[in-house]
Amino acid sequence: MKKIKNKIGLVLIFLFMGAMFFPSQTCALEPKIKDLLITNDAENVLLYARLLNGFKPQMELAILAGIPTTFTMWIEVYQERSPMWDKKIIRKEIKRSIKYDNLKKTFSVVSEKKDPDIFSDMESAQKAMSDYNGIVAVPMSSLKKGQSYYTLVKIKMDKVRLPLHMEYVFFFVSLWDFETPWYRQNFTY
């Protein structure tokens, strides 16, 4: 009996050491924001951005199992004044959720719009979750002409909540948690 316990302990040590020294390729790909662009229309300052490496294989399997996943984007707009005393104009939070309907075999992506977008394949749904096009950052009426401004943008995946607090049993779901650093984009009005 003691030999079996020693062998099990030895196997667990090797598994732990292997995970520490040889991480999988999916862990090496950190989520990041790309193609951040600030522009405007007649009434609003608009933001365009893309989230790269936001979906890990374990997340995809969980989504296919019916677990909803939510991304939250934070947008902050500041007026540049002195280096230490920039004025915060606005802070916004935009949530997007993806859920798979196993009976209909469709993915629904819910965003700030009222009706969810329905997709028949995972790739299209992931693209809808990752592309932030034409997001209203701030109304032009909140800005003063001739001033310098900047936006800070960050995306975080909300913690997965399983029924009956099963996230404590399935501890690996915490490995999906990610948060990009803040990305800054300057603009002038």
Whether residue 11 is contained in a domain is answered as no
Kindly indicate the confidence band of residue 131, based on its pLDDT and cuts at 50, 70 and 90. very high
Phi first, then psi: what are they for 102, rounded to 5°?
-70, -30
22 in a structural domain:
no
CB of 62 closer than 8 Å to CB of 34: no
Sheet containing 131-139: give its strands across: 32-40, 44-52, 131-139
Q: How many domains does the chain have?
A: 1
Question: What pLDDT does residue 75 have?
Answer: 96
Task: Give a yes or no: residue 128 inside a domain.
Answer: yes
Residue-wise pLDDT tens digits, 36-67: 999 999 999 999 999 998 888 888 888 898 88
**Confidence at 117, pLDDT banded by 50, 70, 90:** very high
Place of tokens 């951005």: 49
- Domain annotation covers residue 77: yes
In a domain, 92, yes or no: yes
Residue 121 belongs to domain with CATH number: 2.60.40.10
pLDDT in tens, 25-37: 444 578 899 999 9
Residue 13 lies in a domain: no
Residue 176 lies in a domain: yes
Report yes or no: 33 and 155 within 8 Å, Cβ to Cβ.
yes
* Full residue range of the structural domain in which residue 52 is found: 31-188
Q: Which residue has the tokens 């790739």?
A: 123
